[in-house]
Structure 1
Amino acid sequence: MAPPQGSQAPLEFGGPLGAAALLVLLPGTMFHLLLVAGSGPARLLGPPPYLPGLETLWSPRALLLVLAWLGLQAAFYLLPARKVAEGLELKDKSRLRYPINGFQALVLTALLVGLGAAAGLPLGALPEMLLPLAFAATLTAFILSLLLYLKAQLAPASALAPGGSSGNPIYDFFLGRELNPRIGSFDFKYFCELRPGLIGWVLLNLALLLQEAKLRGSPSLAMWLVNGFQLLYVADALWYEEAVLTTMDITHDGFGFMLAFGDLAWVPFTYSLQAQFLLYHPQPLGLPAAGAICLLNAIGYYIFRGANSQKNTFRKNPSDPSVAGLETIPTATGRRLLVSGWWGVVRHPNYLGDLIMALAWSLPCGLSHLLPYFYILYFTALLVHREARDERQCRQKYGRAWQEYCRRVPHRILPYVY
């Protein structure tokens, strides 16, 4: 039988064998990190302190909490939005519409959490439930991915993602067959991309901070910095939510286990690793060192936000005074490539800012353990891989114009290094 339309797209992540390995490796890595973060040695490498049994992982209460959390964020998603934006043009020339109310969801969540804490909501109990919560989130991501895979069997060829219809069920389940799975106006991928995982991340950070205050009388300066830096990052992502509509996740990747697990489980439970580490391994941090780390984070954020804002402004309105004077390269598609400003320094200046911030989040944890630096190691690998995927797509899309851009801007992420 001939493979479905779209199977000509190059296979990612090592094809079916790589996808099958990642189905096991990604959850396994997450649980390993959760186990070692609370252990005495806190070793990134080496065996975990113990292997949890099903009775340790499974908790109906944890599953109920995860489902209630998803339900709450879905309810916020369905509230009237401050703005409704259109996505990029699809194969059938249509454009989907998306509510821009992620920051509103963050504020409403903060209000509810504040009221709950004032009424005695035991947020400090969440750190003790990290393993069953992570297991429940993983189970939810698996079931959601399976349902979406079955739903995609009925989707027209025009609705499939470029790389999600290989004909191999394991690969397609992992990568996702359908580009924009929806029920009515509810877009599953767009909803999961920023809301439950990112907001859940800062909620877990807050719970870890409160637990540290309970154990030691007050949160440490290091814990305050980690919470503040990461809250800024999440608030920025939700305030500029519309920008996600032009990212590879939304425009190219299907919604399968890779993104569902990443959004619902990997993000909140591994991105909060620094706060988890600090709860069990307090680190001294003086004001001069804290000031230097704050400056480093500010530099990273300045690069990250400046590059993203410049790109988004140019895409919306090339005549905007802030970008009208930038040099560009015309392409056969009618679009123009920025070759000055932030995007004339390196091809992905936003990735550079991201990595600088990642380093700033890890430094409050000291230099005695490698574990808190897992995030920057992982994120470096992720962004290098994503940059390679983006490079390939841009080369196919823009042809000679992209070759000229690469000649003019030879460095990809780090000037004069890579």
Structure 2
Amino acid sequence: MVTHHLTHFDDAEKMNDVATRSVHLVVTSPPYPMIEMWDPLFCRQAATREAMDNQAGMRAFELMHRQLDRVWEELYRVLVPGGIACINIGDATRTMGGQFSIYPNHSRILSRMLDLGFSNLPNILWRKQTNAPNKFMGSGMMPPGAYVTLEHEHILIFRKGGKRLFNTRAEKANRRQSAYFWEERNQWFSDVWMDLKGTRQKTGDRQLRQRSGAFPFELPYRLISMFSVMGDTVLDPFLGTGTTLFAAATAGRNSVGYETDDAFRPLIEEQCKGAIEQGRQRIGQRFENHRQFIGDRETAGKAVKHINRVYGFPVITRQESELMIPLPATVEQTQPGRFSVTYDRPEVPAGGQPASVPKASPSEPTGQLPLFD
């Protein structure tokens, strides 16, 4: 099994290198309009710069979103029927022209996506709460001068058309093998995510760090596992440091990314070298979490009725019986901006011993051990 990952250092407003109806899933976090760190990007447009100079907040907000709108139009073109788009976006608060206000980025994007013909599926609130005593905005204890603190971002989820169809025997088998664990379903498909922490940028370039708003690896990895199957193509039109690329590689999906800032190129290439170790660690943690979950359930005297046929361990539902998770083995840069990843893929045993679960340890990256005694 091999997946391919391609980065274009170009504007995603015209993704000419991506064929129509060739992408199965979009996972992205665009620059946030009206957040100061992204002003220089949006103000490349003269009209936006003029609105900001004149402190015309709502006009600047609208002009910034019109720049993003052109990317959303491309998403509708490149997605397959039934394809999913997940957009991580936060609202902004800002004082413009002496007036403090919230700028609702999530609702503006939602409105445009609906206009384009997408269906909005239930969305996720990513709660990034902080316990800092000075987190509140405004004048503190004197009403009505304090403002509610924004401690969440939105993950907007859209579908192009109706449910995606899996018609052939091979497509149906691949879908079954791409299943997730029952307990992961219960956690991942909650509409509030409180277990994900923001990520600190690893680049030592302060200016480059300020131009990136990377989400944690777990966010795209989780969404990719939820809304695509192995071998699918995942697109991120605002790639940044390449987190979506690495998450897709870990999950056994192909990926395409667009990034306007060529300064990110060496960082993406450098981090690709560590993608194998990171991927093996995350997959190993999934198996360890499942082992602990089953152990706790059996200790509590609760029934576990089904067996996964690949690994031979207990699972809760019949839909998990063919679940398999290929383990990233090698990564190779084949051309500038192009990477290939190979995998150790377990096979359903025809008889005899089930497949062993690879041990995802950086000290023993290729060792294996049984998951359950």
Return the TM-score normalized by structure 1: 0.24
Larger fraction in helix:
1
Larger fraction in strand:
2
Return the TM-score normalized by structure 2: 0.26
